[in-house]
Amino acid sequence: MSESLPRARVAELLHLASRKRVAVIGDAMLDVYLDGDVERISPEAPVPIVRVRERRHALGGAGNVAQNVTAVGARCELVAVAGDDPAGGRLRQMLAIAGGDASIAVAARCTTQKTRIVARAQQLVRIDEEDDSELSEPEILELVALTTAAVATADAVVLEDYNKGVLSPRVIAAALGTAARRGIPVVVDPKFRNFFAYGGSTVFKPNLRELEGALGAEVELSDPQALRLVLPRLGVRHLLLTLGEHGMVLVSDDADVVTIPSYAREIYDVVGAGDTVSAYLATMLAGGASITEAAMIANMAAGVEVGKLGAATVSPEEVLAFLA
């Protein structure tokens, strides 16, 4: 790992990235963690009783991508949607504390909130409160305007799709069109609903299950030519296929297929690892990294993130310490 990407080069790219600006467009959400103890089973039903000892809040989805961009030291503008509710207020407050510029459109819906109940470091259940229906016409027009303005001043773009409604075809087209005119890289973390709407993006980053579900066929990872055939169907320059504990595969039409092994030393919680990868990919590309360099550094950052509980940020100092 360190032989193919020297520590000095990683430090240089992290420094260059810290001077850049990244626009993050997508579905922001509020993560809630209820930590407690289980000592008995409920007499009402065969379920554990959790006595809550601590309540914690964290930024999820595109909000977590944004705070990881700022953790690198780069400037970030987030374009997202939240409701006019307590969860939306908390989300805005946390984004302000994280230090990014947030353009949050107010929608006539609840703010997406995921509550995880945890006992003895084990997640027992997750409760999702959300509305993933299509946004109204005025809300879409507002998002298109906010997206165009954010991308117009950025050095790189992240489109973070969780199928919650922000990344409609018109918002996607506005982001990709503005980025293309300015010649800046676009990193896409897709979901199934608009999977084939990101033609022209720089890096397309699904996991294996998402790619196979969209293609309707099993993907043969051992066949480089078969992997390259996916690129024209998606209309993208690079495919970065994430494989969980097995690392990543980087597919480009003009280079050898690159397998990047997992760098995780301890896997404690995989929540938020994909957000960290998106943030580091975009900031490294903005800083002048090659696609292979960006993917390797993003994979290092993910190796740090999975050693933490919940969606968490990863600093440049932690990446460099990880290399050491």
Enzyme catalytic residues? 275
What does the buried/exposed string (b/e) look like for 159-197 if buried means 16 or more CB atoms within 10 Å of the residue's CB? bbbbebbbbbeebbebbbebbeeeebbbbbbbbeebbeb
Q: What is the CA radius of gyration of the chain?
A: 19
How many Cβ atoms are within 10 Å of 53's Cβ, its own excluded?
Answer: 10
Q: Please report, to the nearest 10 degrees, the dihedral formed by the alpha carbons of residues 105, 71, 10, 8 taken in order.
A: 150
Q: Which tokens sit at 25?
A: 């467009």
Residues 6+ positions from 320 with CB-CB distance below 8 Å: 7, 10, 11, 14
Q: Which of 65, 25, 298 is nearest to 157 (CA)?
A: 25
